[in-house]
Amino acid sequence: MILLNFSHPLTPDHIRQIEALAGQKIERVVEVHSQIDPQQPLVSQVIGLADAAGLTPAEWQTLPLLVNPPSLNFIAVVLLAELHGRCGYFPAHLRLRPVQGSLPPQYEVAEILNLQAVRDEARQRRNPNNKP
């Protein structure tokens, strides 16, 4: 599995947590710094973030990908749309959460979100006559 990290650096403990949840080894972590210039148009900057991952069109469509999204919501939603276009599906995403009572603040892996499954299940709710 290839982990595309558009957020803060992940620790070796995070990687172990992710591998345990996913049930597979992370072959490579691709670090992409997701800083943007808020004075410039967002979409072109997010395209640049996706380009910075360095994957070919075939790799976007065939590699097992896991995404740690950027923290800023407006970057994350545009990136999600960009990645869907490149992959042809919604890649799985990480959700991190704060460790309660930790000083300094620390984060742990909460879950892996299967966004394609969320989308597929939501399609069943599109028609109110369909039963999920």
Q: What is the pLDDT of residues 12-26, one digit of tens each?
A: 999 999 999 999 999
Say what the alpha-carbon torsion angle 38, 41, 43, 44 is, to the nearest 10 degrees.
-110
Cβ atoms within 10 A of the Cβ of 9, count? 9
Task: Kindly report the pTM of this predicted structure.
Answer: 0.91
Give φ, ψ of 111 to 5 degrees.
Answer: -170, 165
Domain extent listing, the chain: 2-124
Closest to 95 in 3D by CA, of 108, 80, 83, 84: 108
The residue ranges of DSSP E strands in the chain, in sequence order, are: 2-5, 28-31, 65-68, 92-98, 107-113
The C-alpha atoms of residue 91 and residue 93 are separated, in whole angstroms, by: 6
Q: Are 30 and 54 in contact (CB under 8 A)?
A: yes
Q: What is the pLDDT of residues 70-115, one digit of tens each?
A: 999 999 999 999 999 999 999 999 999 999 999 999 999 999 999 9
pLDDT score for 131: 58
Q: What is the pLDDT of residues 42-58, one digit of tens each?
A: 999 999 999 999 999 99
